[in-house]
């Protein structure tokens, strides 16, 4: 930690295709730089490359392959594959690293590159820093006899499907469950149906016809209305909404109600506790609903908050040898079975509990009551304005906290990806929460205007 990075954010390098650095020339050099660092003096190492379904994935796959070959590294191409599947195959194929070409839940015109280390975990900060340092050097092609080669991994999909099924007890039987699955026209379109059908479920698919341009467009975990309608229309037991790269999960119960990441995390924690499978505290983030914290404490479970982002959840879990964490956005991390957030595996955990207990999803989530939450984004007029510590803003925050007492909380934080200040207030009274959030947002906006 504490390393200044020019290109890598909290989840790799991401941006609009064609805008630097999301360009073919930069990505080729990134592949070369990564190959130089990851080889660590060993020629002819192996890197796996997977992608989601956006059209620019073809271009960047070829660019990475060329860059890696120039550094003497072999590429093993997985084709369209969920991000957690790439992490898994990085481990089982004994690669030195895995590369994901994806912009997750973003529109098709964005793309990104992120890395997994050989153990399937996110690449350490010092390795990312070394890759950035190598990017400053002139690109040099290794001797022709040492150039890397490219191979297509033909059985990647089947390997990952079998791995997903092995994360639940072999006795798991989903026969009798009718499921609607929304793949966001993304990387899970040719994986998710097989996983659930092979365990006995009746599966209805939507968002499973990618054309390179429709990923996340009105479908998936960030746009669940289509899935809600289909669950009700088919009288299904449950709906599963995945995002474009398959690491995020939102579910829909039989009543058509959204079950978000906080509620899913609560169910999974309770089930693991009952089966003596939970290790240590449950980790959420600063944005996790206060209702989750209270519900877990009622069960006698410890709850801790990390910074926002699954990277920080994983860091806290690893540091303490804990096993379960997640975000309200639907990134659920189960370190007892895998190394990163996995929407399919998280959904399997919930469905296994439903099938084993004969309990519908809306009943399973009933042990947690979400507090009303108001979130307001205040746009910064210019980057670099720090209003967080100004007296007018801190006074507004203190006044809100005093009014809420121990029945609510206030969170004020700058966005890590946009020029925004995020104001979040939650408590037991919906109108009070909205009013207090607006008062703080107004104070922030006034402070921004004064500082501009």
- pLDDT tens digit at each of 452 positions of the chain: 445 678 998 789 999 999 999 999 999 999 999 999 998 756 568 999 999 999 999 999 999 999 999 999 999 999 999 999 999 999 999 999 999 999 999 999 999 999 999 999 999 989 999 999 999 999 999 999 999 999 999 999 999 999 999 999 999 999 999 999 999 999 999 999 999 999 999 999 999 999 999 999 999 999 999 999 999 999 999 999 999 999 999 999 999 999 999 999 999 999 999 999 999 999 999 999 999 999 999 999 999 999 988 999 999 999 999 999 999 999 999 999 999 999 999 999 999 999 999 999 999 999 999 999 999 999 887 656 678 888 999 999 999 999 999 889 999 988 766 778 999 999 999 999 999 999 999 999 999 888 76
pLDDT at 280 (0 to 100): 98
Given 56, 75, 102, 104, which residue is catalytic?
A: 104
Name the strand (E) or helix (H) holding 146: none
Asked if residue 441 lies in contact with residue 423, where contact means CB atoms within 8 angstroms, the answer is: yes
Q: Which of 367, 399, 421 is the last residue of a domain?
A: 367
Domain coverage including residue 284: 160-167+175-367
Domain co-membership, 354 together with 391 = no
In a domain, 53, yes or no: yes
Distance CA 419, CA 402 (A): 29
Asked if residue 195 lies in contact with residue 349, where contact means CB atoms within 8 angstroms, the answer is: no
In a domain, 2, yes or no: no
In a domain, 3, yes or no: no
Nearest 10 degrees: Cα torsion 355, 357, 362, 366: -150
In a domain, 435, yes or no: yes
If phi over 0 gives left and psi between -120 and 50 gives alpha, with beta otherwise, what is residue 119? alpha
| Nearest-5° Cα angle at 368, 366 to 369 | 95
Q: With the C-alpha atoms ordered 50, 53, 57, 62, is the resulting torsion angle positive or negative?
A: positive
Q: Which of 412, 381, 368 is nearest to 394 (CA)?
A: 412
pLDDT at 406 (0 to 100): 86
User: Residue 317 CA to chain centroid, in angstroms?
Assistant: 15
pLDDT at 104 (0 to 100): 94
Residues 6+ apart with CB under 8 A from 271: 349, 353
Domain co-membership, 28 together with 147 = yes
Residues 6+ apart with CB under 8 A from 15: 21, 22, 110, 111, 112
In a domain, 114, yes or no: yes
Q: Which of 249, 248, 227 is nearest to 239 (CA)?
A: 227
Domain co-membership, 239 together with 309 = yes
Q: In angstroms, how far is the first alpha carbon of the chain from the final one?
A: 31
Q: Which of 124, 154, 184 is the last residue of a domain?
A: 154
Q: Is 104 a catalytic residue?
A: yes
Cis? peptide before 385, omega within 30° of 0: no
Domain co-membership, 94 together with 198 = no
Distance CA 83, CA 252 (A): 23
Domain count within the chain = 3
Domain co-membership, 214 together with 277 = yes
Exposed (0-12), middle (13-18) or buried (19+): which is 402, by Cβ within 10 Å? Answer: exposed
Domain co-membership, 112 together with 79 = yes
Asked if residue 76 lies in contact with residue 69, where contact means CB atoms within 8 angstroms, the answer is: no
Q: Encoding tokens for residue 198?
A: 């092979």
In a domain, 8, yes or no: no
Which own/partner contact pairs does 388-394 have at CB distance under 8 Å and 24+ positions apart?
Answer: 388/412, 388/414, 388/421, 390/447, 390/451, 392/443, 392/446, 392/447, 393/440, 393/443, 393/444, 393/447
Residues 6+ apart with CB under 8 A from 300: none
Domain co-membership, 363 together with 379 = no
Domain co-membership, 386 together with 352 = no
Crossing angle for the helix pair 391-404 and 430-451, to the nearest 10 degrees = 170
The pTM assigned to this predicted structure is 0.93
In a domain, 5, yes or no: no
| Nearest-5° Cα angle at 443, 437 to 448 | 125
Q: Which of 367, 384, 405 is the last residue of a domain?
A: 367
In a domain, 355, yes or no: yes
Q: Residue 345: CA atoms inside 13 Å, Cβ hemisphere, count?
A: 26
Q: Which of 30, 10, 6 is nearest to 97 (CA)?
A: 30
Domain co-membership, 385 together with 318 = no
Q: With the C-alpha atoms ordered 141, 146, 151, 156, is the resulting torsion angle positive or negative?
A: negative
Q: Residue 48: CA atoms inside 13 Å, Cβ hemisphere, count?
A: 29
Residues 6+ apart with CB under 8 A from 440: 376, 393, 396, 397, 400, 410, 412, 423, 425
Distance CA 390, CA 398 (A): 12
Q: Residue 182: CA atoms inside 13 Å, Cβ hemisphere, count?
A: 30
Domain co-membership, 212 together with 303 = yes
CATH number at residue 313: 3.40.120.10
| Nearest-5° Cα angle at 109, 151 to 285 | 90
Distance CA 18, CA 211 (A): 20
Domain co-membership, 101 together with 202 = no
Domain co-membership, 338 together with 192 = yes
pLDDT at 1 (0 to 100): 42
């Amino acid at each position: 930690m504490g390393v200044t990075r020019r290109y890598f954010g909290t989840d790799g390098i991401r941006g609009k295709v064609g805008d630097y650095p999301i360009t073919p020339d930069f990505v080729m050099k990134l592949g070369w730089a990564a190959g130089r660092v990851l080889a660590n003096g060993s020629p002819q190492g192996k890197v796996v490359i997977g992608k989601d379904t956006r059209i620019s994935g073809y271009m960047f796959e070829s660019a990475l392959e060329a860059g890696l070959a120039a550094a003497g590294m072999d590429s093993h191409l997985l084709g369209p594959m969920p991000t957690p599947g790439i992490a898994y195959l990085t481990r089982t194929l004994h690669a030195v690293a895995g590369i994901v070409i994806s912009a997750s839940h973003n529109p098709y015109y964005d793309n990104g590159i992120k890395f997994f280390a050989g153990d399937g975990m996110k690449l350490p900060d010092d390795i990312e820093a070394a890759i950035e340092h190598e990017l400053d050097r002139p690109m040099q092609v290794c001797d022709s006899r040492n150039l890397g080669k490219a191979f297509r991994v033909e059985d990647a999909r089947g390997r990952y499907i079998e791995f997903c099924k092995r994360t639940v007890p072999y006795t798991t039987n989903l026969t009798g469950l009718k499921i609607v699955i929304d793949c966001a026209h993304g990387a899970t379109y040719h994986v998710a149906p097989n996983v659930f059908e092979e365990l006995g479920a009746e599966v209805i698919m939507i968002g499973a016809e990618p054309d390179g341009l429709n990923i996340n467009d009105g479908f998936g975990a960030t746009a669940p209305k289509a899935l809600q309608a289909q669950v009700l229309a088919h009288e299904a037991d449950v709906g599963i909404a995945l995002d474009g790269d398959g690491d995020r999960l939102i579910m829909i119960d039989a009543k058509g109600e959204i079950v978000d990441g906080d509620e899913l995390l609560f169910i999974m924690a309770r089930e693991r506790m009952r089966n003596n499978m939970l290790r240590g505290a449950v980790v959420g983030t600063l944005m996790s609903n206060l209702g989750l914290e209270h519900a877990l404490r009622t069960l006698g479970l410890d709850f801790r908050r990390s910074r926002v982002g699954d990277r920080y959840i994983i860091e806290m879990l690893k540091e303490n040898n804990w096993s379960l964490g997640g975000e309200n956005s639907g990134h659920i991390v189960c370190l007892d079975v895998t190394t990163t957030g996995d929407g399919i595996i998280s959904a399997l955990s919930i469905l296994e509990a439903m099938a084993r207990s004969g309990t519908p999803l809306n009943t399973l989530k009933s042990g947690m009551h979400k507090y009303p939450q108001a979130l307001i984004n205040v746009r910064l007029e210019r980057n670099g304005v720090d209003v967080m510590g100004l007296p007018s803003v801190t006074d507004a925050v203190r006044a809100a906290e005093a009014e809420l007492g121990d029945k609510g909380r206030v969170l004020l934080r700058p966005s890590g990806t946009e020029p925004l200040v995020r104001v979040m207030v939650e408590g037991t009274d919906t109108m009070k929460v909205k009013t207090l959030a607006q008062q703080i947002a107004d104070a922030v906006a006034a402070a921004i205007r004064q500082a501009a």
